[in-house]
Chains A and B, each alone.
Chain A
Amino acid sequence: MKKLIRICSLLLLLAGCGGLCGCKAVELEDRSFPMMVAVELSDMKQTQFRYVFANEWSDINSYLDYNHLKVVLIEEEFLEDEKKYQDFLTEIQKEETFPRNTYVCVTPDADEICDTGEALAIDVGTYIENMLQTKERLEKNHLPTIGDLLDDKENQMRIWKLPVLSAKDGQIEITDYYQIAYGSPSALRES
């Protein structure tokens, strides 16, 4: 009997703790899921993000859940300022904002890519991810992710080639590759 009371009280206690587990959770309808984040410089030359969401009703004022993020698109102008690039990486490393397996691409004009994406049947983040995954599969190579850039910021041992995206006739395509050499943007391009 004593044992039964002990087990019951423990179960009650655990259930009590378990009951509290939902208190802090943000409900699904209160979350927004960015599928692509464009990193660019504002008119004041400050780092700014532009988000592309999975649904049109999402907005940046709700809770941003980055778990479905597919692509981080960095504007070329942003990469010209190495300090800004390093600060950006330090910040996302500290905050662990973006998933490490998110693809990273470069573009001369982020707005152009975002606007082109609006005409697509799926969101532009998923579209670019599909494009990159197909390329990886066909060419049997590995395209750089946020995790690769974060690691190389510390290791400074490798050269990563970020796909450069451009929009042409309503289509997004890879024109060439931007080199991040030994942890720093090199401004070098290769096809």
Chain B
Amino acid sequence: MFLDNQRISFRQVYRLYLFSLVGISTLVIPGKIAEKNGVYGVISILLGGALAFLYLFYLKRVAKNMETDLITYLDRREGGGNLLKRGALFYLAGSAVMTAGYVAFVFSKLVQKSLTAEENYLLILALIVLVGGYAVVGGIESRARVYEVMFWFVLIPMFLLLLISLKGINFIYFDFHRAPDYGKMLQDGYLCFLPFQTLFFALLLPKYVKKDYNRLFFSIGLALFCGVGILIAFFLILVGTFGAEALSKMEFPAVTFLNNVQFTGGFFKRLDAIMMGIWFFTLFALMNMNIHYGGILLKESVKKGGGKRYLLGILAVVYLLAAGLSYVEPMQEFFFNFFLFFGVPMYVLLPGIFLAMGRKRA
């Protein structure tokens, strides 16, 4: 029988994080940053990556100062009654649930678009949310184990895909003569930072790993480094395959890309369906991470016990949000603006505020 002590190794942290960072970034970011600056979008990715590294260093300092995970730290310092603390935790839980809803929406659309075009969106979504809920009930350890095993099964096809697609690149599309729009480049840099917001959950991880902050943050940093590298590789290949303008008009360029790649040889002919698994697993990991930590934060902010009932509530909200995102189009823009102006800035500010609050009380 497997151990079930809700502890995970640093290697599992690295794999869990790499999955969470790669999925949504490679799906959503390339199309959004290609329009104005074409191949110079790479600079925006580097900027976003640099911001994410700064953020990670900041989180590391906060975690080291807290000497434990965020929840335990707040409990020790604040007790349960502080309204401000509970409000902030509730807000963070809301952000995590919104992210989970958005990821569930992208995931379901992706399944519908690439595999079951005529299937009902709500049914696909229901299945995804249910399976997600099941994975979260299984606990972080069993999820980490699954991702650890699946890691190379997902990454090898990904590298193979990138390798095969190199021959489809047309250098004319790189268009280095294009004059970059520096203002947009900076904005896009911030946009590239958005998918890395899950780094915040590093503050909740110390509960599940050995108490060695250097190794913990090194594992996450390594995942971030590889995640940025994969995003850059994908972006360049997508620009080289489709051209910047065409890329910016695509909903999920990665899916179109998979249909475009010429797999030679009989064995590889239907590899595109398997390669969709890259995004299925990575999006699933990100959704579960947000549901899991959203549940923990919500439980802590409400402080009323209730066990797994929180999870049911969260799954219901995730389902409704993802359904809304599909049927009420302005919601997509609202979500995007929320993450841009409120979600991410709060993820950045709140750890410092919590630390300052705790110190003041102490």
Contact = CB atoms under 8 A, between A and B. Distances in A.
Interface of A: 10, 13-14, 17-18, 20-21, 23-26, 93, 99-101, 147, 150-158
A24 to B, nearest CB: 6
Contact count band on B = 20 to 34
Contact of B256 (A10, A100, A157): A100
Contacts of B170: 158
Contacts of A24: 118-120
Nearest to A14: B130
B123 A157 contact: no
A154 B130 contact: no
Contacts of A153: 246
A153 B249 CA distance: 11
Interface string B166-178: 0000101101000
Contacts of B130: 10, 13-14, 17
A14 B131 contact: yes
B246 A155 contact: yes
B69 interface: no
Given A21-B123, A24-B118, A26-B118, A155 B243 contact: yes
B123 A20 contact: yes
Contacts, number: 57
Contacts of B260: 100-101, 147
Interface of B: 116, 118-120, 123, 126-127, 130-131, 134, 170, 172-173, 175, 242-246, 248-249, 256, 259-260
17 contacts: A10-B130, A10-B134, A17-B127, A20-B123, A21-B123, A24-B119, A25-B118, A26-B118, A100-B259, A101-B259, A151-B246, A154-B245, A155-B173, A155-B242, A155-B245, A157-B175, A157-B243
B92 to A, nearest CB: 29
Given A99-B259, A100-B256, A101-B260, A157 B127 contact: no
Nearest to B137: A6
Contacts of B172: 157-158
A155 B246 CA distance: 6
Contacts of A13: 130
Nearest to B134: A10
Given A17-B130, A25-B118, A154 B123 contact: no
Contacts of A150: 246
B243 A151 contact: yes
